[in-house]
Amino acid sequence: MSLLDKFASVKPQLKALAATGRNPFAVTFDEILSATEGVLDGRPTILLGTNNYLGLTFDAECIEASRQAALHHGTGTTGSRVANGNYADHRSLEADLAAFFGRRHAMVFSTGYQANLGMLSTLVGRGDHLILDADSHASIYDGARLGQAEVIRFRHNSPEDLRKRLRRLEGRRGGKLVVVEGIYSMRGDVAPLQEIAAVARQYGADLMIDEAHSMGVLGERGRGLAEAVGVEDQVDFVVGTFSKSLGSVGGFCVSNVDDFDLLRLVCRPYMFTASLPPAVIASTRCALSRLAVDTGLRARVGANAKRLYDGLSRLGFDVGPNVSPVVAVALESREVAVSFWNALLDSGIYVNLALPPATPSNHPLLRASVSAAHSAEQIDRAIEAFARIGGELGLVWPQMRAVAAG
Ligand code: PMP
Mean pLDDT of 225-247: 98
> Where do you find CATH 3.40.640.10 in the chain?
59-293
Strand residues in 157-196 grouped as ranges (E): 176-181
CB atoms within 10 A of CB 292: 15
Q: What is the pLDDT of residues 379-394, one digit of tens each?
A: 999 999 999 999 999 9
- What is the whole-number distance in angstroms between the Cα of residue 358 and the centre of ligand 1? 14
> Rounded to two decimals, what is the model's pTM?
0.96
> Where do you find CATH 3.90.1150.10 in the chain?
13-47+295-405
- What is the whole-number distance in angstroms between the Cα of residue 52 and the centre of ligand 1? 13
What is the number of the ligand 1 atom nearest to the C-alpha of 250? 15
Give the pLDDT of residue 405. Answer: 59
Fold held by 13-47+295-405:
Aspartate Aminotransferase, domain 1 (3.90.1150)
Check pocket membership of 181 for ligand 1, CB cut-off 6 A. Answer: yes
Give the pLDDT of residue 14. Answer: 86
59-293 — its CATH code? 3.40.640.10
The order of strands in the sheet holding 365-369 is 326-330, 365-369, 352-354
- The protein residue whose alpha carbon is closest to atom 13 in ligand 1 is 112
- The protein residue whose alpha carbon is closest to atom 8 in ligand 1 is 185
- What is the whole-number distance in angstroms between the Cα of residue 10 and the centre of ligand 1? 24
Q: Is 300 exposed, middle or buried (0-12, 13-18, 19+ CB in 10 A)?
A: buried
Does the pLDDT at position 207 exceed 90?
yes
Does the pLDDT at position 406 exceed 60?
no
Who's near 286: CB < 8 A, 6+ residues apart? Answer: 59, 61, 62, 65, 66
